[in-house]
């Protein structure tokens, strides 16, 4: 958590809530117990001694987050399950070490904060802000190898593992990249903390946001009204109180990443004084991807023993019975705030795939937070083989998600997005109606296409238009 003050007053945790609990460790679990199970999406390290040395060094390095921050996030996620908060989780598909740059980091933070302000205004709910960065250095891949011009090499698995350059040396998994990833994550977190403590999240001047894209949107008047209302609201409260409101310039902020490379996650799994159990202190909010969510696999085994709140990606092909088994494996005590299910089904598949899962979880009384990932199920290739996503499909799936939850008597409590604070051209459409010809202009992702700054802010405002409680003029 990057700060302890929010736009909305928070109820402080009582001394009883902070009191150590009796030991209730997961049965027959340790940070290493995953090693005896099938571990998908793991690189093959040729030098076992180098791997052991890197793991030993990483295990001695300081943690990146604290247990009390983890507990605070869990508390807020439990409130989101009850409809009292809304989760905004977003960031890069796969970070690169070169992204540890002050401008890039501040732009990522800026877009998430600005999106959250729009959501706060429209939904009238506190927003849980979770960055998909400061550790998102590994990516699952559809194949173990890649072939170009008759040459076959290991696939690129993110800079935590290897390099994107198509050479044998670059694609060789290198254990010491884990040390570098830890350092880059720490620097990113420290800079984010400094920005927030320094007032980077100040709401006094939303008119300073980069809103040039609005001129291209048919909803420009709606958006301008919203921005004006946010600024007016802050000024009204200051006039009413007769003093400047200082707590509008600091917010809570948490980090997340996919817990993919298990040796890295294992080394940063720690016990802390006066608390029982184990914590992944590399991040506040680790998740399991769709490709590694096998109930009998290593990733589920590793995650079940953590005290962190955790998440799992859910696809359209999963069966209701299997989902209940997975939920019970990861959250056997049905703890509020413990488990988030992130459905990623695509605009074409969500109407068929989601309702049976919502129905069984509701009927069986399982406590989960439902979150929509409208990005991954809508990936496609252009006519020349460039990976992209269409803005209309992204928002289309999100609209359907809200409607399907309402029909089933459940609640969509958040969104999970791949986005950047830069004005890249990786996803088609949006207010500027980006075309295939535009993609070559600023396509920078090494893996999956991301919403750019303008598309991200537009999406937040469309969510407000869809589900907001504040009237938006027509």
DSSP three-state, residue 61? coil
Q: Per-residue confidence at 251, pLDDT binned at 50, 70, 90? A: confident
Q: Rounded to an integer, what distance in angstroms lies between the CA atom of residue 292 and that of residue 287?
A: 10
Of 79, 374, 21, the residue nearest 252 (C-alpha): 79
d(CA 423, CA 436): 16
Percent of the residues in the chain that have a pLDDT greater than 90, as a whole number: 73
pLDDT > 70? residue 86 = yes
Question: CA-CA distance, 46 to 430, in Å (whole number)?
Answer: 45
Residue matched to tokens 């085994």: 301
Are 65 and 186 contacting, i.e. CB atoms less than 8 angstroms apart? no
Locate tokens 């290593």: which residue?
A: 298
Query: Does 13 have pLDDT greater than 60?
Result: no
CA pair distance 268, 280, nearest whole angstrom? 6
Half-sphere exposure of 130 (CA within 13 A, CB side): 33
| Cα dihedral 326/37/261/273 (nearest 10) | 80
Q: d(Cα 348, Cα 394) in Å, to the nearest integer?
A: 11
Give residue limits of the domains in the chain: 28-467
How far apart are alpha carbons 448 and 465 in whole angstroms? 27
Considering Cα of 350, then 352, then 357, then 362, what sign does the dihedral take?
positive
Looking at residue 473, what is its pLDDT? 45
Using alpha carbons only, give the angle 140, 258, 117 rounded to the nearest 5 degrees. 125
pLDDT band at 17 (very low <50, low <70, confident <90, very high): very low
**Does the pLDDT of residue 447 top 80, yes or no?**
yes
Q: What is the mean pLDDT of residues 177-194?
A: 96
Q: How confident is the model at residue 243 (pLDDT cuts 50, 70, 90)?
A: low
Residue 268 pLDDT level (bands cut at 50, 70, 90): very high
For domain 28-467, give the fold: TIM Barrel (3.20.20)
Is residue 252 pLDDT above 90, yes or no? no
Q: State yes or no: pLDDT of 247 exceeds 70.
A: no
Average pLDDT of every residue of the chain: 89
DSSP per residue, 95-135: --GGG--HHHHHHHHHHHHHHHHHHHHHH-S-EEEEES-SS
* Strands, E assignment, 349-449: 369-372, 379-381, 387-390, 412-418, 427-428
Which of 393, 451, 464 lies closest to 108, judged by CA? 451
The pLDDT tens digits of the residues spanning 96-143 come to 999 999 999 998 998 898 888 889 888 989 999 999 999 999 999 989
On the 0-12 / 13-18 / 19+ scale of CB atoms within 10 A, 15 is: exposed
């Amino acid at each position: 958590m990057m700060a302890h003050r929010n736009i909305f007053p928070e109820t402080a945790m009582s001394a009883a809530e902070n009191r150590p609990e009796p030991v209730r460790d997961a049965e027959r679990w340790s940070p290493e117990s995953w090693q005896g199970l099938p571990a998908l999406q793991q690189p093959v390290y040729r030098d076992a001694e180098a791997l052991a040395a890197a793991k030993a060094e990483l295990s001695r390095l300081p943690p990146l987050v604290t247990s009390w921050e983890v507990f605070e996030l869990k508390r807020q996620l439990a409130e989101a399950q009850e409809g009292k908060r809304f989760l905004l989780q977003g960031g890069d598909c796969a970070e690169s070490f070169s992204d540890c740059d002050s401008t890039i980091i501040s732009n990522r933070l800026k877009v998430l904060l600005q999106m959250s302000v729009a959501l706060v205004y429209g939904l009238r709910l506190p927003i849980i802000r979770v960055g998909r960065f400061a550790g998102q250095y590994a990516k699952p891949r559809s194949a173990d190898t890649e072939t170009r011009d008759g040459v076959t090499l290991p696939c690129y698995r993110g800079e935590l593992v290897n390099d994107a350059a198509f050479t044998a040396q670059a694609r060789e998994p290198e254990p010491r990249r884990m040390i570098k990833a830890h350092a880059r994550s720490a620097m990113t977190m420290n800079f984010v903390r400094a920005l927030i403590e320094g007032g980077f999240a100040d709401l006094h001047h939303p008119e300073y946001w980069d809103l040039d894209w609005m001129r291209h949107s048919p909803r420009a008047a709606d958006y301008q009204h919203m921005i004006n209302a946010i600024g007016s609201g802050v000024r009204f409260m200051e006039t009413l109180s007769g003093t400047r409101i200082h707590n509008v310039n600091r917010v809570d902020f948490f980090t997340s990443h996919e817990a993919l490379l298990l040796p890295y996650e294992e080394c940063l799994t720690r016990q802390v004084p006066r608390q029982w159990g184990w914590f992944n202190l590399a991040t506040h909010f680790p998740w399991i991807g769709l490709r590694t969510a096998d109930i009998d696999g290593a990733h589920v085994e590793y995650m079940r023993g953590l005290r962190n709140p955790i998440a799992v990606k859910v696809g359209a092909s999963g069966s209701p019975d299997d989902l209940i088994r997975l939920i019970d494996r990861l959250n056997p005590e049905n703890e509020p705030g413990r488990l988030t299910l992130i459905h990623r089904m695509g605009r074409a598949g969500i109407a068929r795939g989601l309702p049976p899962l919502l129905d069984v979880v509701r009927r069986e009384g399982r406590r989960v937070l439902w979150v929509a990932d409208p990005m991954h199920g809508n990936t496609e290739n252009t006519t020349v083989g460039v990976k992209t996503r269409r803005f209309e499909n992204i928002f289309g799936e999100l609209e359907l998600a809200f409607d399907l939850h309402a029909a089933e008597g459940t609640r969509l409590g958040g969104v999970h997005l791949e986005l950047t604070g830069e004005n890249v051209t990786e996803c088609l459409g949006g207010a500027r109606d980006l075309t295939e010809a535009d993609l070559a202009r600023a396509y920078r992702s090494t893996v999956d296409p991301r919403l750019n700054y303008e598309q991200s802010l537009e999406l937040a405002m469309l969510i407000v238009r869809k589900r907001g409680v504040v009237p938006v003029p027509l």
